[in-house]
Structure formats: structure tokens, C-alpha cells
């Protein structure tokens, strides 16, 4: 029987903290299912990258860190309107897994209430290693590249990710998010 764990994130973008958790999971399990949360959302400040871009970022980051790609499955996990049903819904999108690894108390609550085993892990260097921090640095012209792999930097530059973020928050964007 394959021992498998689930790890969910939005990966906007995948960063070195995410990779460290994936590495730790692969030390104890045969496979990790990487669930891309909020898969339906893109071109917003919180979720600027498409699900296909995020999949590419994840695959590239795995290569950059010499992690065995054949031990990682990527699954899209769109949001649904009912939070209480989301964990069961998300579980149905995945191959069977033994445990969810999460740093989110809310995701932990939803999965525990749905009857799943959960390992609450500490977030790694949360002040620096967060998608929000990376996107903020991109917008401010700060040093964000050190927080992701070199291949992910190249992919973000290729799709003009910084320009996309700046357009999303620009004053002439009629769809500009309030937060």
C-alpha cells in the first residue's frame, strides 16, 4: 500500500517554505498530493497566477530542488460556497491519503471535522516565506527572488507576473480588489 499525505496551498507562488514541507513529507511518505487551493481564482491580488501557471511553478520548483517528481501528484482544488463541505469535496478530488499536513488552523478544523487525520506543522520563516510577502515585494520592487527557486523566478518573469500584479492593483483597473 502506498503511504500518501496531502498538502494544500494556494502556491501564489510556491516558495522555499512550501518546498521544505514537501521535502519533510517525502521523508515519511511514499507520495505527496499537492492540492492547489482556490484553483478557480486568478488575476486577483491574492491569486494573481492561473492554476496552470501554479502547476508549472510547482513542477519547476521540484526540479530545482531535486525532489522526485514521480512521488508528487498535483490536484486542482477549487473553492465551493460551503466551507463545512469543502474538506469532503477536496478529499474526493484526491487519491486516497493517510493524513493532511497543514499550517492553517482553519483548514485543519475543516478536515478534522470531516474526520480526516491532520498533522499541524509550523510555518517556516513565516515573516518572509509567504505568498503575500512575495507579492508585496514584487509590487514594491523589493528582493523577492531569494524566496523562490531560480526556475520559478524565470517562469514568473516569462509571464510578466510583476507587470500583471501592478496592473491588478492599478488605479485604472475597474475590477480592482478592495483588499
Q: Are 164 and 45 spatial neighbours (Cβ–Cβ below 8 Å)?
A: no
Along the chain (179 residues), what's the average pLDDT of each consecutive run of 10 residues?
94 97 96 97 95 98 94 97 94 96 94 95 83 96 96 98 93 58
Cis status of the peptide bond prior to 13, with omega within 30 of 0 = yes
CA distance 78 to 35: 10
Q: How many CB atoms lie within 10 A of CB 147?
A: 20
Cα→Cα distances 154→1, 38, 47, 49, 130, Å = 38, 23, 19, 14, 19
Instruction: Identify the CATH assignment for 4-169 out of 3.40.50.620, 3.40.50.970, 3.40.1010.20, 3.30.70.20.
Output: 3.40.50.620
pTM here is: 0.92
Q: Are 139 and 53 spatial neighbours (Cβ–Cβ below 8 Å)?
A: no
User: For 22-64, how does the pLDDT look when each residue is reduced to its tens digit (9 = 90+)?
Assistant: 999 999 999 999 999 999 999 999 999 999 999 999 999 999 9
CA distance 107 to 87: 8
Amino acid at each position: 500500500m502506498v503511504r500518501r499525505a496531502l498538502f494544500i496551498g494556494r502556491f501564489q507562488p510556491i516558495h522555499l517554505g512550501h518546498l521544505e514541507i514537501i521535502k519533510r513529507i517525502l521523508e515519511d511518505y511514499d507520495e505527496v498530493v499537492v492540492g492547489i487551493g482556490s484553483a478557480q481564482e486568478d488575476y486577483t491580488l491574492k491569486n494573481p497566477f492561473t492554476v496552470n501557471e501554479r502547476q508549472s511553478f510547482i513542477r519547476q520548483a521540484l526540479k530545482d530542488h531535486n525532489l522526485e517528481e514521480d512521488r508528487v501528484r498535483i490536484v486542482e482544488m477549487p473553492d465551493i460556497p460551503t466551507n463545512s463541505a469543502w474538506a469532503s469535496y477536496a478529499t474526493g478530488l484526491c487519491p486516497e491519503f493517510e493524513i493532511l499536513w497543514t499550517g492553517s488552523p482553519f483548514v485543519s478544523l475543516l478536515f478534522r471535522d470531516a474526520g480526516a487525520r491532520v498533522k499541524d506543522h509550523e510555518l517556516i520563516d513565516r515573516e518572509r516565506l509567504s505568498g503575500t510577502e512575495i507579492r508585496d515585494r514584487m509590487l514594491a520592487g523589493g528582493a523577492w527572488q531569494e524566496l523562490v527557486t531560480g526556475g520559478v523566478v524565470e517562469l514568473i518573469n516569462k509571464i510578466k507576473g510583476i507587470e500583471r500584479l501592478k496592473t491588478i492593483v492599478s488605479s485604472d483597473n475597474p475590477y480592482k480588489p478592495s483588499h
